[in-house]
């Protein structure tokens, strides 16, 4: 990977951090709806909880993968302070 300019590196970092935030928002909303949901029967609750659990697990996986991408690829594209001068 090529080194990016400081502006591009900052933009890429912000995009990755916003994606982590997006995964957290999905987890929070799914948890909120799971806790506060009103269901007519037990079968409806089980069906909805399966979907909410899938969203929660997917959100955590999305956050973890994005965090790994942010942390472990940073040395390849973020310029060092000594190189940017």
pLDDT tens for each residue of 23-81: 999 999 999 999 998 889 999 999 999 999 999 999 999 999 999 998 888 877 776 66
Instruction: Give the DSSP letter string of the chain.
Output: -PPPPHHHHHHHHHHHHHHHHHHHHHHHHHHHHHHH---SSHHHHHHHHHHHHHHHHHHHHHHHHHHHHHHHSHHHHSPPHHHH-
């Amino acid at each position: 990977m090529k080194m990016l300019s400081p502006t591009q590196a900052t933009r890429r970092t912000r995009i990755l951090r916003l994606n982590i935030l997006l995964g957290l928002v999905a987890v929070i909303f799914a948890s909120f709806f799971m806790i506060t949901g009103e269901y007519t029967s037990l079968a409806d609750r089980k069906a909805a909880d399966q979907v909410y659990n899938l969203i929660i697990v997917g959100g955590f996986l999305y956050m973890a993968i994005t965090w790994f991408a942010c942390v472990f690829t940073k040395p390849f594209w973020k310029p060092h302070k000594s190189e940017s001068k």
